[in-house]
Structure 1
C-alpha cells in the first residue's frame, strides 16, 4: 500500500469495505465512533457537532484519501457519500483486534438506518449530542433532558490558558467545551502549526463550528527566532522577563481587547503551543491580566 496510508487511514478504508464499499459521511462518522469505543487507544477523537460525534481528523483523512484516488466523495440531494474506488482487502492490513472490532460494529449496527444510528449514539453517548441541530427532532423529551444535562455552563467569569502540545484537535476543543470557554484568544506571533488542526484557519473553523469565538492577537506573540535555544527553565524565565519588559509593555492596548472579551463573554482562554504555562509566554500574559485593577475573574490552566 502507498506510504501515505497511515494506520488510521487504513481503518477508514477497511470500515468502508466492511460496509459494502459505500457510506454516507454521517454514517461513516458514527460507525467510526462506535468502532473507536472498542479501542483501548483510540485511532480518532471526536467532538460534539451538529449531527453528533464528529472527527475533524477523519474528515480530513477522507479528503486526503480522495485526493490520492482511494475514495470518491459525491454530494447528492440525499447527502454526502464516500465510496471506495476499488476493493483491496484493507481489513487484512489491520491488527486482529481491530478487524474483530470492525466486524462486531457491522454485526451490531449494520442493520440500522442512518437516523437510528444517530439516535443510538445520542442516547448512549449524550455528551456528543450537546451541539446537535437535530436532537430535538429525533429524541424523546426524557432523552433530550439527558443530553441537556451534559451541557456545562458557568456563570462566573474565568481566564484560562491552554497549550495544544500533546493534544489532538478534538481533545483540545472538548477541553474548551467542557469548561464553557466562549472565546479562544490565540497569542502566537505566527498562528501556523505543522500539527493538524492548529494553523489559524483550521483552528478558527473548528472553534466556529462548535460555537466558540476565535481571535488572533499576534502582537502579543514572541518571534520564533527568540525561542530557538531554550533548554532549561532558566532560559525560559530570562526570555519571558525580557518579554514582560518589552513586547507586553508596548502592546498593553491588546490586553484591553482580552479584558473586554472577558467582560463581554465571561470565559476566555489564551492559547499557544507549549503544554506547560510556565514554558509559554501566555503565562505572562495571564499574569499581567490577573494584576489588572478591579478584575473580577480567576485564572485556571487547562
Structure 2
C-alpha cells in the first residue's frame, strides 16, 4: 500500500522507548473476551476505527463505550479512518486485497485530521485500534498497523480467533 500522509517516524520520542500500537477485532468474540484482552495487555484507550460503530450485540458505540468505561478503558471513535462503504463494496478485501488497499489508501490521504487524532491517542499511552474483523491481515486496522510499523512503532495484534 502506498503510504498515507501524516505518519512519520517519531515513535521513539523518549530515548530507548519504542511506542507500541495494539490492534483487535471482535470477529465472533463476545464483548467480555475483547475487554479482557485489552485489560491484560494494559491498553488504556480503545480507538474504534469502524465507519459505522454498529452491528453485533455488545459492540455498538453506546454499549462498547459504556463497557470500556466500566473496565477503566477510554473509548474514542475515529470513524474517518474506517473503510467507507464505497471502498468495501467496490473491493472485497478477501477477493481483491490489492484493489482494497489502493482504494483505502486513496481514502486515507484525505484524512489528515483523523490521523492526527489517532497519532495523539497512540502517543498518549497504550491504545488499540478496533474494528469488526477477527484478523488484521485483510482489514483496515492491519493497513493502519503497517503504517505505524513503517513509522517505527511496535505493533501487537490481540487476535481473538
Task: Give the TM-score band, short-chain normalised.
Answer: 0.7 to 0.9
- Which residue of structure 2 lines up, in the alignment, with residue 199 of structure 1? 60
Would you say the 8 A contact 2:91–2:99 is kept in 1? no
Given the two structures, how large is their TM-score scaled by the length of structure 2?
0.79
Per the alignment, in what secondary structure is the counterpart of residue 287 of structure 1? helix
Structure 1 match to 2:102: 241
What is the CA–CA distance in structure 2 between the aligned matches of 1:237 and 1:223, rounded to whole Å? 16
- Report the secondary structure of 1:299's partner residue: strand
* Structure 1 residues 239 and 188, CA gap change in structure 2 (3 angstroms): same
Q: How far is 1:289 from its partner? A: 2.4
| Pairwise CA distance, 1:257 | 1.6
**How many angstroms does 1:156 deviate by?**
6.5
Spell out, residue by residue over 1:175-218, the C-alpha distance to the aligned partner (whole angstroms, 9 max, x if none).
1011011110001111111x111000100000011110100011
Residue of structure 2 equivalent to 1:298: 154
Choose which of 107, 110, 114 in structure 2 pairs with 1:254: 114
The answer (yes or no) to whether the contact 2:121–2:127 under 8 Å persists in 1 is yes
Contact 1:185 1:268 in 2 (8 A): yes
- Name the Cα RMSD after superposition: 2.0
Alpha-carbon distance change, 287 to 231 in structure 1, aligned in 2, over 3 angstroms? closer
Kindly indicate which of the two structures has a greater share of residues assigned to helix: 1
Q: Quote the residue 1:280 is aligned against.
A: 139
- Quick one: distance in 1 between partners of 2:96 and 2:111? 23
Are the counterparts in 1 of residues 93 and 139 from structure 2 also a CA contact under 8 Å? no
Partner of 1:174: 36
Q: Which moved more, 1:196-205 or 1:281-290?
A: 281-290
Secondary structure of 1:215's aligned partner: strand
1:1-302 correspondence runs (5 A): 157-193=19-55, 195-228=56-89, 233-244=94-105, 246-265=106-125, 267-292=126-151, 295=152, 297-302=153-158
**Structure 1 outlier segments of 4+, above 3 Å:** 228-234
Unaligned stretches of 5+ residues in structure 2? 1-16
- Tell me the secondary structure at the aligned position of residue 233 of structure 1: coil
TM norm structure 1: 0.44
CA distance in structure 2 between the partners assigned to 1:282 and 1:163 by the alignment: 8
Secondary structure of residue in 2 paired with 1:171: helix
